[in-house]
Amino acid sequence: MAALHLGFLLVFLILQHIPRGFLVTVQTENGKVEVEEFGETVLSCKYQVEKDPNPRVEWKKIRNRDVSFVYYEGKIVGGFQGRAVMEGASIRIKKAMLLDSGEYRCEVSARQDSRPLGEATVSLTVLVPPDVPSCGIPSSVLTGTVVELTCRDRQGTPPSLYRWYKNGIALPNTPAQDPLFANSSYTLNSSSGTLQFNTVSKGDAGQYQCEASNGVGEPQRCAAKFMQIDDMNVSGIVAAVVVVSLVVSMCGLGVFFAHRQGYFNRGHGRSFWIPQYEDIVQISNQNLKTVETNGSSEYCTAPQDYSQDFKHTQSFML
C-alpha cells in the first residue's frame, strides 16, 4: 500500500513539471505613479501570451466610476491626443495635467489563448504645488475673547500642511514648547490651517502670517497682517446697558399713563371749544351729539345729514 501511494505521488510531480504554453499574463513595473504637473511619466504594461500572435491592447481610465478609453484600436484617443505616445504596450505621457489623476487599466485580449484576457492596473497621481494661501486675520480684537485665524490653500495636491508665524518666528504646535510663547494660550491645527486663541491677551498682539507646503514646489505664504489687542471697555458697556434700561422704563411709564387717561380706549373722544361758535360738536366712533351753550343740560341726537347741520362746525372728535 505504501508503494502505491508513493507511485501516485511521483506521477503527480511529473505532471506538474510537464512544459505547457504560457497563458496570457499582464503586469506593470510600477503600480503607483506620481508626477508633478506638466511633467513626463510612463504607465508601464508588459504581457505574455500563450499562442495568439496578434493580441489586442487597450488602455482605459477609471475616475469616479467613469470609464473612458485612452488607447483604443491602435491609437491614442480623448484628451491624451498630442501629449502621449505608445511605447510597446506602455503609455508615455509627455505633459501630465491635474485631471490626469486616476486609475488606469491595461487590458490585453488574446482570443486564441486558453485564458483570453489579462489586465494590470496603474494608479496615477499628478502633484500640484500650493498656491498663495487665503488668510483670515482680524485687525483688532478684544482681550479675553476667543479669536480664530484661518489659512487655506485650495490648489495643492496632495493637500497642504500649514505653519503660522508671528513677527517672523514660527509658532510651535504647543506654546509651552517655546519660552517666547509660554504665556500664550492657543491651539494650532496644521492640517486645517486654523490658529485659535482660547483667551487672547495683550501679549498676543503682533504681525501674523501663514505658510502652506505639500512637498511639491516651493512653500507659499500669505501677506503678513498686524493683529491689535484692545482692552474691553467694561464701564462703557455698563453705561450703555443703564441708558437702554432707562429708555425702556420711560417708554413703559408713558404707555401706562396714556392708558390710564383713556387714550387707548375705543369709543371715547375729546371736545374742543372754539369761542366764536355757540355750539360744541362732539363726534365719536359711536354717536354724534350737540351740546348747547345756553345753560341747558339737554342733549339731542345728531341728524343724519351731516353736511347741512354741521356745515360750519369746527369742533370735532379725533
Q: Is 14 left (phi over 0), alpha (psi -120 to 50) or beta?
A: alpha
Cell numbers linked to 222: 500669505
Q: What is the predicted pLDDT for the residue at 145?
A: 94
pLDDT at 44 over 80: yes
Yes or no: say if 222 and 213 are a contact pair by the CB < 8 Å rule.
no
Arithmetic mean of pLDDT over the chain: 79
Decide the pairing of beta strands 194-197 and 147-152.
antiparallel
**Residue 117: strand pairing partners:** 109
Stronger pLDDT, 55 or 287, i.e. the higher one: 55
Q: What is the predicted pLDDT for the residue at 225?
A: 97
Taking residues 275-284, report their average pLDDT.
Answer: 48
Decide the pairing of beta strands 117-127 and 32-36.
parallel
Answer yes or no: pTM beyond 0.75: no
Q: What is the predicted pLDDT for the residue at 63?
A: 84
Q: What is the predicted pLDDT for the residue at 14?
A: 42
Q: What is the predicted pLDDT for the residue at 8?
A: 46
Sheet-wide strand order for 84-87: 41-43, 90-93, 84-87
The span from the CA of 211 to the CA of 121, in Å, is 36
Q: Is 31 left (phi over 0), alpha (psi -120 to 50) or beta?
A: alpha
Polymer length in residues for the chain: 318
The span from the CA of 159 to the CA of 275, in Å, is 90
Q: What is the predicted pLDDT for the residue at 246?
A: 77
Q: What is the predicted pLDDT for the residue at 129?
A: 96
Confidence of residue 209 (pLDDT cuts 50, 70, 90): very high
**Residue 150: strand pairing partners:** 136
HSE, CB side, 13 Å, CA atoms: give it for residue 30. 12
Per mean pLDDT, which range of 73-87, 106-120, 154-168, 287-301 is the poorest? 287-301
Q: What is the predicted pLDDT for the residue at 237?
A: 59
Highest mean pLDDT among 124-133, 243-252, 268-277: 124-133
Taking residues 179-191, report their average pLDDT.
Answer: 90
pLDDT at 83 over 80: yes
Cell numbers linked to 181: 510663547
The span from the CA of 129 to the CA of 123, in Å, is 20
The DSSP symbol for 30 reads: -
